[in-house]
Amino acid sequence: MKAVILAGGFGKRLRPLTDQMPKPMIEVMGLPIIEWQVKWLSGFGIREFVICVGYMKEHIINHIGSGSRLGVRVGYAVEEEPLGTGGALKNAEGLLSGQSEFFMVNGDILTNLDPNRLRDGGGRNSLALVPLRSPFGVVEVNGDSRVLGFVEKPRIQDRWINAGVYHFTSDVFAYLPENGNIEVTALPALAKEGKLHAAKYDGIFWRSIDSHKDIEEATKEMQAANIK
């Protein structure tokens, strides 16, 4: 089974780093995000990849190449203009012919979650959910307004967010736009028809790299989780 990595975006919030390289090539603990992703997924048995590239694509293609250095096989779907997450996957359809199912991953996340939990026998379109993390520290108080303590950026257990890791069947291509984001096109349409499922992941490492601070925090968390 193949995995698609969406790696064509501009990463504007990470400038000036992304003035020199695409976002998936930003290094965390000495390795580009995209290399971490290939290592993570190959650790769960995935050996074939399709990387959707666009902005500064040469950096990714030159670094990953055929994938042989990492023990995998890699093909590339090139966006001549920005297509959005849905359009990027649609653009890769030819490289996924014959695949009844596949994984898809946003190119800016780091995680150690088990993607195979999303398959549920292979016949479902599904996405991974992780607990919402508060962007702020939380102050705990009692009924008398006495401060009991402080919790730094806790996970909010009753709220879940899209982790950017998906399992799709080939049926998804009928829902994809030529240009547009999957989050506002295909996913809502699949959900409305009752064809989208979710798997909740807790107690795992997950981090989206959206800011310079995320790079620093991801490094600390990966070291604490002994991710290598």
Active site positions, annotated: 153
Q: Which residues contact 219 (CB under 8 A, 6 or more apart)?
A: 28, 29
Q: What is the rounded CA–CA span in Å between residue 33 and residue 48?
A: 18
Tokens standing for residue 79:
């966006």
Give CA 61 to chain center in angstroms.
19
Instruction: Report helix, strand or coil for 224.
Output: helix
User: What are the C-alpha distances in Å from 211 to residues 7, 26, 228?
Assistant: 16, 11, 22
**Is residue 215 within 8 Å of 209, Cβ to Cβ?**
yes
What amino acid is encoded at 21 in this protein?
Answer: M
